[in-house]
Structure 1
Amino acid sequence: MTIRTRFAPSPTGLLHVGNARAALFNFLFARHHGGEFLLRIEDTDKERSTQKAVDVIFDGLAWMGIEADAEPVFQSARQDRHTEVALELLEKGQAYKCFCTPEELTAMREKAMAEKRPPRYDGTWRDRDPSEAPEGAPYVVRLKAPREGETVIKDLVQGEVRVANAEMDDLILLRSDGTPTYLHAVVVDDHDMEITHVMRGDDHLTNTFRQAMIYRAMGWDLPHFAHLPLIHGPDGAKLSKRHGAQSVVDFREEGYLPEALCNYLLRLGWGHGDAEVLSREEQIKLFDLDGV
């Protein structure tokens, strides 16, 4: 098996150092195992995605010496494929059409909060016949997620993590305008790109439980997941703009060398004995997830 990792940023802003570290870890892991490192631009948010942000991502990665092994994939170009898989799940009875109006969903949330329950979709249309809906009514396509048992992820960093399926609702695959949601598109793209290891921040762990349900509904093998510890600011909070320079471009413009930034980011959450300064060749030789 050829190990394949990916870095999949959204072009909605600058290349954050947290994202840059994720790219570095994915790149080094693939190189260490003789595999392939791929790049995917998740540009389905048409309102916020910009070409300027895409250029900044390419520029920042090139400056850091992080080179993909194939041409980048643009998620927006794959919408037909995302829709195809959602409709296949619908045909298989693994998904269904939900005709709830915005007002009904708001009332559902307010009722749950008043009863001190998490505001989740209650499955109103899960087992109803679509013919009961008004003719021509808009609908979303929702995954018919399992309600019994647990979803278990054997994470390569966090260990075994699990959640009761009753804690999760039926996630939306296709919006009422027919566009795919982010969580659905990512699963289809990772499967089609034959990604074997998904390495990303542990703020995505909740997403992983939901995405695992899509994999299983399609009968696809799950990739190996590794959720990395986040970078925090001096106050202990997740890194944000208020903590100062946070983009790769900022560090370059302040005169830092790419070798210095990469070495620093590598040592945030990974270590090898007392080694402090490592060349790129040494990084590739030594990097593996057991040091995270």
Structure 2
Amino acid sequence: MGNISGAIVMTNLIQVGIDIGGTKMLTIAYQHSKIQARSQISTGKDFTAADAQTEIERFIHTLAAPPDGIGIAIPGLVDRAGVVIACDVLPNLVGWQPAIAFSSICPVKVVNDAQAALMKVVSELKPQTVAAVVMVGTGIGAAIYANGMVLSGANGWAGELGSIPIEGKTLDAQASGAAILAQLGIDANQSNALVGANDITALQSIERAGTSLGMGLAILINLLNPETIVLAGGTLQWRGYLAAAMQSTQRYSLPDLWASCRLEVSQHGGDLVGLGAASIAI
């Protein structure tokens, strides 16, 4: 477990936060407590470490001055040296060592995306609380904060919520954005069209996925008794998903634990992970 301060302080230094996800890479420059610049590109299964480095270098060259620190959030396992160990949604990032790649520019810190999001969330919570962040995108991950400490685990890999088995399949295989698309045999653009057309098969698939997520959230609630769970990620935007998840979470949680937990969607939207990554850059 690692200590973190009660509040994350953004300084006048230039902090770059990078959120690399299964469908997009968001890069932001944070200074004077505001986002000063931002860029977003598409990713996908074929996205490589070289692609990421090219975009980071391009973005840095657009800034008025070199950054004082870079924080990079990855949807997978990162070791304590900042090496990407495993990344199902972006397999070509495995083995990447950003701290070495950008050592001549500034210090670089690399963390799991849910842990990055947690850094932003806990800066807005009471220090002595129990909270979790759950990222729901191409895959599903979580990060946990308890009484002033981040529950990181023996290798820093605690929070792989998407890997828990529920009814014979992992939560990732049932509730993630990738799972919904795979079940329907379509891509994200096609799914939006189907939902817009009130396609029953698509809406039912989304609802089933949301119900499965709720089972996973109920496990967190029943095990940890958190005061707050913050949800973030693009899959939450699919019509019917969030409502099904909320109903399922309540159904499978112990009533007293459910009553003491606030379950909410992050107010920072798609910027949450990038802001968290920027906060750990210095």
Q: TM-score, normalised by structure 2?
A: 0.29
Choose between structure 1 and 2: higher strand proportion.
Answer: 2
Q: TM-score, normalised by structure 1?
A: 0.28
